[in-house]
Amino acid sequence: MAGTAIIPTRMVLNQLKGRLKTARRGHKLLKDKRDELMRQFMDVVRRNKVLRERVEEGLTEAFASLQVASSIMSPEMLEQALLYPRQSVELGMKYKNIMSVNVPVYSFQTKNNDPTEIYPYGFAQTSGELDDALEHMAKVFEDMLELAEVEKTMQLLAEEIEKTRRRVNALEYVMIPDLESNIKYITMKLEENENATKVRLLKVKEMVLQEAHNYKQ
């Protein structure tokens, strides 16, 4: 029995009752947090599914166009056309808080807003399919960045859900039952001690009456 390792006093009993009250309140708060994390996680999962389909579709179109361009242009010409990009991108990252979890928010900024800067070559000796491939890649880049953000968010939320689940289980199946068991044990011991004290007092009273008045109940 867990209670046998503790001293059965009223002070300890009051301390355990306070800890039990706190544990139950913490258990409820953690369960609420776990449920809300699960709701947020499922929202992110649905968002991830939409983004992944969109990214896969965009990359498929880009690779198809690039494959056609590769069949038309020589490898040397294709490499030369893409060797010196004219557009540059600056990536940024900040954080937002979801239920005490700091998740990343990615952003990007191009060097300039001229859409023709994605083509690092002249159009005279290149195929239109290469233009299509770069255009598809430029369009899908933002979705790819958002997908990376969403997948990292999923990972962090999943880790927090697992930690919260372990804490909920520890409270529900270990700490709270142990506290309840100890409280029951101490209460029982105190009642036994109180009953024993009453019996002793009655015996003392009887002995005092016998000695003082030769009176026997």
What DSSP string runs through 35-102? HHHHHHHHHHHHHHHHHHHHHHHHHHHHHHHHHHHHHHS-HHHHHHHHSS-S--EEEEEEEEEETTEE
In terms of pLDDT, which residue wins out, 87 or 182? 182
pLDDT band at 3 (very low <50, low <70, confident <90, very high): very low
pLDDT band at 49 (very low <50, low <70, confident <90, very high): very high
Stated pTM of the model = 0.75
CATH number of 2-206: 1.10.287.3240
Tokens for 158, please give them: 């999943």
Tokens for 19, please give them: 């800890």
Contact between 98 and 36 (Cβ < 8 Å): no
Q: Where are the domains of the chain?
A: 2-206
Residue-level pLDDT at 134? 78
Cα of 96 vs its chain's centroid, Å: 14
Distance CA 33, CA 31 (A): 5
Distance CA 70, CA 77 (A): 9
Distance CA 96, CA 40 (A): 13
Q: What is the mean pLDDT of residues 10-39?
A: 95
Helices (H) then strands (E): counts for the chain: 4, 2
pLDDT digits (tens, 9 = 90+) for 82-129: 766 766 778 889 999 998 899 999 988 777 766 555 666 665 566 678
